[in-house]
A and B are shown apart, each in its own frame.
Chain A
Amino acid sequence: GAVVSQHPSWVICKSGTSVKIECRSLDFQATTMFWYRQFPKQSLMLMATSNEGSKATYEQGVEKDKFLINHASLTLSTLTVTSAHPEDSSFYICSARGGVNGELFFGEGSRLTVL
């Protein structure tokens, strides 16, 4: 099946620094990718829809200046957490529609810990 690769799988950073997470569709082209955040024992919360060649669409309550999304090619979307703070510590997951029925393929997730 389709493969989505996410990198890094975990990252620890100091408060105030920026962190970039990459999401790649390895064997298919994804004009749309989705970024989620997940806290322990909680559901996947959609943060934004990343559209190739255009601006991302952010969900209500998600700061677009803090979570910068770039989808410069059909196989790569990046999420940059700017000026990270401890409350940004979470599990970030990307996905793309890759199946004939619109099923989603997810990356492995990135665990961000901000000290």
Chain B
Amino acid sequence: SQKIEQNSEALNIQEGKTATLTCNYTNYSPAYLQWYRQDPGRGPVFLLLIRENEKEKRKERLKVTFDTTLKQSLFHITASQPADSATYLCAPHASGGSYIPTFGRGTSLIVHP
């Protein structure tokens, strides 16, 4: 069955450093991979989408990579800030508008001042 794995343990880093979160998937070949941010008690918020033919995507301090050979996506936040503390979810999915969205458990990021 399809499986999405994200680091279950919280990632603690110091303000100003780069945070790197990992998303691994098995038993399928997604054409897209999305990343979301979720704050406690809130619904997730869309951050970035990367396609299988894109190796890297950037948005402000965020960078996402997508390695279809390794079946892995890395999510980087540069110059991290305490306000970046949240849980980050990945969602690999098939192409088109009819995919069924499923998520990894998410990795909690804690940025210390």
A residues at B contact (CB < 8 Å): 1, 4, 6, 34, 42-44, 46, 49, 91, 93, 95, 97, 99, 101-109, 111
B residues at A contact (CB < 8 Å): 32, 34, 36, 41-46, 49, 89, 91, 93, 96-97, 99-106
Q: Summarize B's interface: helix, strand, loop or mixed.
A: loop
B44 touches A34 (CB 8 A): no
Contacts of A42 in B (CB 8 A): 105
A-B pairs, 9 with minimum CB distance: A106-B43, A43-B105, A103-B46, A44-B103, A109-B43, A93-B43, A101-B49, A106-B44, A107-B43
A44 to chain B: closest residue by CB: B103
Contacts of A43 in B (CB 8 A): 89, 103-106
A95 touches B99 (CB 8 A): no
